Amino acid sequence: MLNRVEAKTPVSRLAQIPNPPARKPHTPSHGINLRPDQKEVWVADGVYGYVYVYDVTSMPPKHVADVPLFKDPSEQPHPGWISFSLDGKYVYPDGGAVIDSKIKRVTTRIPTSEKLIEIDFRDGKPVKSDTAED
């Protein structure tokens, strides 16, 4: 262990979900990812529906953002994994949220599954791809 950081679920979310699920959707290691430029670690909170962001350009890591994945508890996703776009501009936790990694906010929602593939095209031809499978 190099450093330990603990995510603190915002008090307002704790109040929204007084009886959290007893079982998490995945093992915690599925919900941790390093941004492609290796400057931030993103961690999914599968119980309370947040993604926590830490700057790892210096040690100890610095907490920089809490990204809520829903407002209404009836919409509650239970993210268990996180993927990045190839260029690191977008973050895809399972549950359908798309997070802009620069402004650290959900910008849209898409259907997702645990099978994710990104293909970048130039002039109608594939030039780069990456797959993430659980």
In a domain, 54, yes or no: yes
> pLDDT (tens digit, 9 = 90+) per residue, 4-27?
787 888 888 888 888 877 766 556
Contact of 58 with 108, CB cutoff 8 Å:
no
Does 2 reside within a domain? no
Report the chain's mean pLDDT, rounded to a whole number. 84
Residue 3 domain flag? no
Instruction: Tell me what pLDDT residue 27 has.
Output: 60
**Is 34 part of any domain?**
yes
Domains held by the chain: number: 1
- Asked if the structure places residue 59 within a domain, the reply is yes
CA distance 126 to 100: 24
**Tens-place pLDDT, residues 45-79:** 888 888 999 999 999 999 999 999 887 767 777 77
pTM above 0.85, yes or no: no
Q: Is the pLDDT of residue 116 over 80?
A: no
DSSP string of 26-69?
S-GGGGEEE-TTSSEEEEEETTTTEEEEEE-SSSS-EEEEEEES
Report the candidate in 77, 62, 106, 61 with the shortest Cα–Cα distance to residue 13: 77
Contacts of residue 71, Cβ cutoff 8 Å, sequence gap at least 6: none
Give domain status of residue 6, yes or no: no
Q: What is the mean pLDDT of residues 82-109?
A: 92
Question: What is the span of the domain harbouring residue 88?
Answer: 11-133
